[in-house]
Structure formats: C-alpha cells, structure tokens
Amino acid sequence: MDVGQYRHVLAIRDTRNALALGLLIRIPMFAGTVLLTLHVVTALGRSYGAAGLVSAAATVAIAISGPWRGRLLDRLGLRRTVAPSLLIQLVCWSIAPWVGYAPLMALAALAGLFVVPTFSILRQVIIRSVPEHQRRTALSLDSAATELSFMAGPALGVWLATTWDTGWALFTVEMAAVLAGCVLWVANPAIKGAPDTTDAADRTDTADATDASGAAAASPGVAPGTSPEPVPGAWRGFITVRVAAVYLAAACTTLVLSGTDVSIVAALRSFEATAAIGWILALWGAGSLVGGLVYGAWHRSFSVFWLLGGLAATTAPVALAVGVPSFAVLVTLSGFLCAPTITATVEQLSRVVPERFRGEMMGWHGSAMTAGSAVGAPLAGFAIDHGGWRWGFLVVSALGVLVAGAGMLGGARGRAAGAAAAASTSAQASPPVADSEPGVPAARVEH
C-alpha cells in the first residue's frame, strides 16, 4: 500500500479542482434530497409514502436522463450540455417549493430529467487528468469526497428544515446547487483529450512519433491509444458483454447498499434505538470512506466481482447483531467495501470503453446504479415485512453473492476461451523457427 500516491494525484491541479467542485455540488444535492421528503411530509401534510412517490418520480427521471445527458456531453461538450440544464433547474426549483403536491411531483421529475450530469462530468475530468496508473487512486479520492458529501448533506438538510420553513430551505439548497452548476459551467474543465500535465508541444511530438511508427494518429478529442471508432459488434458502439457485466455489478452494488440502508432503519427500530439511526449511518459511511482510501492506496486493482462478493459477504453478518453496540461494529465493517466496489466499476469501464463514448458510458453507469437502488430498497422491505429485519440484510447479501459468483465464473471462462483462441491463432499465424530472421525468436516476428 502506497499512501504517497495520494500526494502525486493531489499535485495535479485539475484533479484538485474536480474534487473541490464535487464537494461544492454534491452537498446541496444530498441536502435537497432529504429536504424534498421533509417538505412533502411537513409543509404539504402528506404521508411518507406520498413523499416517496415524489422522490421516485425524480429518481426515475434521473435514471432516464443519464445516457441521454452523457451522449450530449460526448457530442456537444460541457457548456452546451450544462447551460440548458441550469436554466431548467432554476425555473423548476424557483416554483416547486411553493406549489401543491401534484405540481411539485411534475416539477421534480422535470428537474430530474434535465439534471446537470455532475457525477459523469467530474469523473471524466478526473479520469482525463491523471495518468492511467493513478486512475484508481484518483477515483478513490472522488468516492471518499462523495462519502463526505453524503454524510454532510442530509445533516445540513435536516438542520435547515428544523430552523427554517421547509419551502425556503428547499429553495435555498436548490439555488445553491444551481450556483454550483454555474461555477462548473464557468470553470469548464476539459473532459476529453490528453491530461493537462502534458503540454501541447509534448502532445504534438507524441502524435508525430506515433505517425512515424506507422500507427494511426489520435483523432481530435480522442486520447492517444484510444480507439476512435465504435467497438465491432457492440451495442451503441461500446456496450459489449464485458461492459454489460460491469453495469450489472454496479446495479447489484447499489441494490445491496439500498437494501442495507432500509434494513439499518428497521433494525434500530426493532432495538428501540431510533435516535441512533443518524450516527449509525455515519459510521457506515465512515467505513466506506476508510475502505475507499485504502483501496486507492493499494498496489493493485481487483475485479469488480471479487469486490462485490466481499461487499455482499460482509453485509450478511450484520444480521447476527444482538444489540446496538454489536450492530454498530458490524455495520461499520460492512461499509468497508462500499466505495472500493463503486470505484472499481468506474475504473474498469474507463479502461475498456473508448474515450469518445465516455460521457454516455458514465450515463449508463449512473442509470444502472439508480436501477439497483430502486430494486434493493423494496426487496429488502418485502423481506423485512415477512421475516424481520435480519432477512433484509440476508436477502440482498445472498443476491449480491450470486451475481458476484456468476461474474467470477463468466470471467474465468472468458479468459480461458480468450487464451485458447490466442494460442490457436498464434500457432496458425507464426512461421516456423527455421523461417524466422536469424537470431530472432519466432515469437517476436509478429511484433
């Protein structure tokens, strides 16, 4: 484990700026999520179920918008994609806090459909700004920053709701989110191309050297070594079986996490310790934060399916808790692989998807995670209703282990098939040793 990797990553200006922008944007975003629920329940006098429907409408809209907004990022760039979103967010959230239930749901859904794709943008900036061997470290820092935002945002939202009228509190945090989006628009960080750490002259020299060696020069907006063309046989130009498997892992990760979230609340209510929900969730987030930082400093990456299996396997023992102290310890341990698993999904996608599709890639990634969350919470709730809070943890854990096991098995078979095909091709294509150039092994003739 090399903690010094973080010093090298933070020395890159674009990475530092992206992490700071992430905190600026995500804290009001998470605060707005909890404030929307509290506003429906308190100011509008509706049930928590009704509040959940508003959140669900916004969530579905965000899931639908992900690939579409990502595709716009690929085609139009940051400013032309973000500017219309900012205008629609400004209009929607200037009206939404002051209207009734049905108009609020419609405005929340419209705002979700045109949400600023901040996660996609900032992760693209981070991926672009660091050398490939530091990508995992940089993405782990982004996951850690997201955990901090998740811990601070809801607390800020609850404090504002108890201090102000919920309408004004909702208006304030959503306008803060719009202002943060404006900062992103003004900063306009590059999301494509070579890292800023390499100047234009160096990039020109590299391209010239590539041309001289007979390789194709990188197209404008496409990083050196990245294919500018769609992947043959891939859906939408980049979604292969391998990519789809990573999306499945991302969806299953948030299924486990959202199911755990619901199960934590149910367990603490069973222990008659409802007041502990806040700090228990904070411990869970802290475990994820530590795990993400450790993974970023680790000397190697791991398969996303191994990490998903570990996440699911460490979630099941929470069902063995017999009181709040043991529950707190087990929940903290179960959070350790949350951030590493999510980081691994982004890292592995960034390595197999051509850069020209990276915006849409991140959009589908966000939609997969949203879909997993949408399934995990009701699945755990159903299990809790029929078997008690322990079954909430066990059901999502079992499903996570099954998906992880299938992914590991499929990956092993794919590697074996690929190795056999490569060996067969090499045996057919390589000339005998006697026919190779004098003094050059036959295995090197192809290169």
Q: What's domain 1-193's architecture?
A: Up-down Bundle (1.20)
Q: Give the Å distances, CA to CA, from 75 to 23, 359, 429.
A: 27, 9, 40
pLDDT tens, N- to C-terminus, the chain (447 residues): 667 788 888 898 988 999 999 888 899 998 898 889 889 988 998 887 788 788 888 888 988 888 888 888 888 889 999 999 999 999 999 999 999 999 999 999 999 999 988 888 998 899 888 888 888 888 888 888 888 888 888 888 888 888 889 999 999 999 999 999 999 999 999 887 654 443 333 333 333 333 333 333 333 333 433 444 566 667 777 788 888 999 999 999 999 998 898 889 889 888 988 888 878 888 998 999 999 899 888 878 788 999 999 999 999 999 999 999 999 999 999 999 999 999 999 988 988 888 888 888 888 998 899 889 888 888 888 888 888 899 999 999 999 999 999 988 876 665 655 555 555 655 555 554 444 333 333 333 334
pTM: 0.74
Cβ-Cβ contacts under 8 Å for 328 (sequence gap 6 or more): 276, 280, 283
DSSP string for 34-68 = HHHHHHHHHTS---HHHHHHHHHHHHHHHHHHHHH
Identical fold, 1-193 and 233-415 = yes
Cβ-Cβ contacts under 8 Å for 390 (sequence gap 6 or more): 267, 319
3-state secondary structure of 213: coil
- The closest of 395, 245, 401, 397 to 309, measured between CA atoms, is 401
- The H or E element containing residue 418 is helix 389-429
Domain layout of the chain by residue ranges = 1-193, 233-415
Dist CA 222 CA 15 (whole Å): 19
CATH T-level fold of 233-415? Growth Hormone; Chain: A; (1.20.1250)
Residue 98 tokens, joined: 């002051």
| Residue located via tokens 């609020």 | 104
Alpha-carbon torsion angle 302, 308, 311, 312, nearest 10 = -150
